[in-house]
Amino acid sequence: MLSSGDPTGIVLATVVGIAAGLGAVAFRWLIENFHTLFFDGGEQVLSGLGRYYVVLIPAFGGLFVGLIVYFFAREAKGHGVPEVMAAVAAKGGRIRPRVAIAKTLASSICIGSGGSVGREGPIVQIGSSIGSAVGQRLRLPEEWLRTLIACGAAGAISATFNAPIAGVFFALEVILGRFITRSFGSVVVSSVVADVIAHAFLGDEQTFVVPAYQLVSAWEIPIYVVLGVVAAVVGLVFIYVLYKSEDIFGAWNFPDYLKPVVGGIMIGLIGLYSVDLFGVGYGGVENALDGNLALRTLLILGLLKIAATSVTIGSGGSGGVFAPSLFMGAMFGGAFGEIAGRMFPAVTAPPGAYALVGMGAVFAGASRAPITSIIILFEMTRDYDIIVPLMLAVAVATVVSRSLRAESIYTTKVRRAGIDLRRYGEFDLMRSIKVNQAMTRDFPTVPPDMLVNDLVAKFNQTGHHGFPVVNEDGTLFGVVTVADVEASLTDAVIDLKVRDIATKSLIVAYPEQSLYEALLRVGANDVGRIPVVDRDNPSRLLGVLRRHDIVRAYRTRLTEGTTYRRGY
């Protein structure tokens, strides 16, 4: 597996970081140019419609998106991150290389034409596809593929939001679902390299310019706790509406490649209220942070954003949910701040402070990624004064959301695809351990002609509950256990031998198998030990794999490499 001190891992992480950085720059360039093409060009072509021309722009974009996704790569549909998580958990880190191309085109057209989605999901899928493609090209094992996917995801977030630290934690907390010390160095290198590449092309730009906010009074702490609860509810509503929209469009008997056109018309109608509802909507977020929006406007924009994003993704569009979550958090957080300010004017900060905290809290409530939520908001705004309320609200939102719904906005889609990430998370380490790393070699054996009475004495002497039975020429004859002896006690034969009671129809394991595969055989057949044999010569005994060996190997690997696992 790629490790912090492995030169090969550092080189590969650097390559993936460079590719992810360049991919992020190209992706943003495409979005800007498609936006100009669709809206500026569309305004000229559809000038007779007046301001209503915007209703048709997302529909035109939806037509191209639907065709690209349907005929080129179905994985490019949706918000991207769940597809990467599924590839890590169930496909050994394998992502088709064409996904990067399809996702780049589909998402840039979708966002550029007004689709109400964000950049992070697509660029994470693009970066991860690049990492997977590099690993597959070099024929690397699954453990390396997963780490390279994490490298690509970290580089993508880092370059897209100028947030290298958040990129690292997003890759570990969301994509891999755990912190692995051996992967940490490689992921950091990729994130830093991608950020340097993005700086070279885009400069050191700050995503949001935030006024100076700080905690006004200790009495504000309970208010931020309540904001965390509100943010959790907003996040849960967003998850429900998003997947309800997917269900409605999915059940509709209409060509899949044309559904984004219908969704685009709906988005265009919603966008008539405010152009900030199109695309990533960072202009609206800036207004909320500056306190420039009235309470009624904040609430309407927040509700319409939930609808617009759900329709965009549900109808088959391509884009992320991070930016929409920030938008919703800014609107509902700002509205909460307005209400709190009217109720407790002496102890509350301006509404913009609550908008800022609400951004991180809503994303945390939807994604269940509290560390990423805190760090990415800090890096995007570079405002440390608000960090304590932010941490508090994010923690509350995460706990409340988790207690009310088992799955996050990302894991819901993976679960609906039939993949239980909790089960895969438990057995991920088992897949990385080979049988020959855990089995007991030189395990005691018994000959077929041994008397059963002598076998009983050997059981008592060694404390073992079973032995492989091996012929004089060293070939495997079978297995004999205490249960076999107990079953033979009903036979009134004094000179009964091992060959008479041994099990000859064997369940075996092979040294190159993963411990996970072997465990399935052990559990399915309710046995405590199985012989390990040569695949090319099944009569050659190499060792014995016992339940004790499996537990010991798992604990050892757990201690060596993993300190945190995804908590849903």
- Ranges in the chain annotated CATH 3.10.580.10: 431-561
Model confidence band, residue 190 (pLDDT cutoffs 50, 70, 90): very high
Contact in structure between 470 and 445 (CB atoms under 8 Å):
yes
Distance of alpha carbon 291 from alpha carbon 307, whole angstroms: 23
Q: Strand, coil or helix: what is 425?
A: helix
Beta bridge partners of 479: 468, 503
- Condensed to tens digits (0 to 9), the pLDDT of residues 241-250 reads 999 999 999 9
Residues 117, 263: Cα–Cα separation, whole Å: 13
Closest CA to 323 of 378, 275, 281, 284: 281
Q: What is the mean pLDDT of residues 511-537?
A: 78
Find which of 137-141, 331-335, 543-547 is predicted with most confidence, using mean pLDDT.
Answer: 331-335
Q: What is the pTM of this model?
A: 0.75
* Rg from Cα positions in the chain: 29
Output the pLDDT for position 117. Answer: 93
Could you tell me what percent of the chain has a pLDDT over 90? 49
The chain-wide mean pLDDT, for the chain, equals: 86
Percent of the chain predicted with pLDDT > 70: 90
CA 49/CA 130 separation, integer angstroms? 42
Higher pLDDT, residue 445 or 92: 445
Strands 178-180 and 562-565: antiparallel
Residue 492: is its pLDDT beyond 70?
no
With 0-12 / 13-18 / 19 or more C-beta atoms within 10 angstroms meaning exposed / middle / buried, residue 418 is exposed
pLDDT interval class at 81 (50, 70, 90): confident
Query: Is the Cβ–Cβ distance between 14 and 190 less than 8 Å?
Result: yes
In this structure, the strands spanning 466-470 and 562-565 are: unpaired
Residues of the chain with CATH 1.10.3080.10: 7-209, 220-420
**pLDDT by residue (tens digit) across 276-299?**
999 989 899 999 999 899 999 999
Please list, in sequence order, all residues whose beta carbon lies within 8 angstroms of the beta carbon of residue 276, skipping any fewer than 6 positions away.
283, 284, 287, 301, 327
Question: Which tokens belong to 299?
Answer: 């609430």
Looking at residue 562, what is its pLDDT? 43
Residues sharing a CB contact under 8 Å with residue 253, sequence separation 6 or more, in sequence order: none
Mean pLDDT confidence for 184-200: 92
For residue 21, with 0-12 CB atoms within 10 Å meaning exposed, 13-18 middle and 19 or more buried, which class applies? buried
Of 534, 552, 535, 551, the residue nearest 543 (C-alpha): 534
Alpha-carbon span 558 to 568, nearest angstrom: 20
Statement: residue 229 has pLDDT above 90:
yes
DSSP string spanning 58-117?
HHHHHHHHHHHHHHT-GGGSB-SHHHHHHHHHHSTT---THHHHHHHHHHHHHHHTT-S-
Matching CATH number, 431-561, of 3.40.50.1100, 3.20.20.70, 3.40.50.300, 3.10.580.10: 3.10.580.10
Q: Which residues pair with 530 in a beta bridge?
A: 545
- Quick one: average pLDDT of 526-548? 86
- pLDDT of amino acid 185: 85
The pairs formed by 50-53 with CB atoms below 8 angstroms and a separation of 24 or more are: 51/272, 52/272
pLDDT score at 302:
96
Provide the pLDDT for residue 568.
42
Amino acid at 74: R
CA distances from 73 to 120, 128, 311, 374, 434 (A): 19, 15, 21, 34, 34
CATH hierarchy code of domain 220-420: 1.10.3080.10
For 375-395, give one letter per residue: b (16+ CB within 10 A) or e: bbbbbbbebeebbebbbbbbb
At 424 the pLDDT is 56
Q: How far is CA 546 from the centre of its chain?
A: 33
Which pLDDT band holds residue 518 (cuts at 50, 70, 90)? confident
Residue 128 CA, distance from chain mean position: 11
Residues in Cβ contact with 170 at an 8 Å cutoff, skipping those fewer than 6 apart = 124, 153, 154, 157, 369, 372, 376
Tokens coding 181: 């010390």
Max Cα–Cα distance, the chain, nearest Å: 104
CATH architecture under which domain 7-209 falls: Orthogonal Bundle (1.10)
Round to whole Å and give the CA distance between 107 and 495: 77
Local confidence band at 233 (pLDDT 50, 70, 90 cut-offs): very high
Give the list of residues 6+ apart from residue 36 with CB closer than 8 angstroms, or none: none
Listed range (83-92, 104-113, 367-376, 467-476) with the worst mean pLDDT: 83-92
Summarize the confidence of residues 441-454 as an average pLDDT: 91
Per-residue model confidence as pLDDT tens digits over 378-435:
887 777 777 889 999 999 999 999 999 989 998 898 888 777 666 555 445 666 688 8
Q: What is the predicted pLDDT for the residue at 450?
A: 93
Q: How much is the average pLDDT of 346-363?
A: 93
pLDDT band at 154 (very low <50, low <70, confident <90, very high): very high
Give the pLDDT of residue 239: 96
